Amino acid sequence: MLTKEMKRGDLFTVSSWREKIAVKWLRFSLEYPEYEDLLICEDDSCDHTSEICWLITDVRDQEPVENATYSIVRMVGDDRFHEVETADLIPVNYEQVCSCGQIGCWPAEEEI
Ligand SMILES: [Zn+2]
Ligand SMILES: [Zn+2]
């Protein structure tokens, strides 16, 4: 699968973008996992409406996990970062990319 082979610095275009601009792949998106507060009260007759019945999970203690559905990329010749769908990324070769980041500044021999 394509996502397994992605390395930092690999060049792609984004198929959903109107212009063919080269982007460098940086990493997959990170997100915090869904979490639930943990019931620690063992009293069966309790209705667990009190705060002390629960161990509140702080999201800041959670490790973010990789979400390979989205990737963080940076435009060639630009400092801006973009979050794009990983499935929209099409690999390109270094020879196809102009120093300005555009693809096809000169007459292209083959369509990408
Ligand atoms: Zn309780
Ligand atoms: Zn150019």
Give the Å distance between the CA of 75 and the centre of ligand 2. 13
Give the Å distance between the CA of 8 and the centre of ligand 2. 23
Among 1, 3, 2, 19, smallest CA distance to 75 is for 19
The domain spans of the chain are 2-96
pLDDT recorded at residue 108: 47
Q: How far apart are alpha carbons 43 and 3 in whole angstroms?
A: 48
pLDDT recorded at residue 84: 97
- Band (pLDDT 50/70/90 cuts) for residue 1 is very low
Tell me the per-residue pLDDT of 58-78, one tens digit each, with 9 for 90 and over.
776 778 889 999 999 999 888
Structural Rg of the chain based on CA atoms: 22
Give the residue, 51 or 73, on which the prediction is more confident: 73
pTM of the model: 0.67
Give the Å distance between the CA of 37 and the centre of ligand 2. 53
Give the Å distance between the CA of 44 and the centre of ligand 1. 8
Nearest listed ligand to the Cα of residue 53: 1
* Placement of tokens 């007459």 in the chain: 107
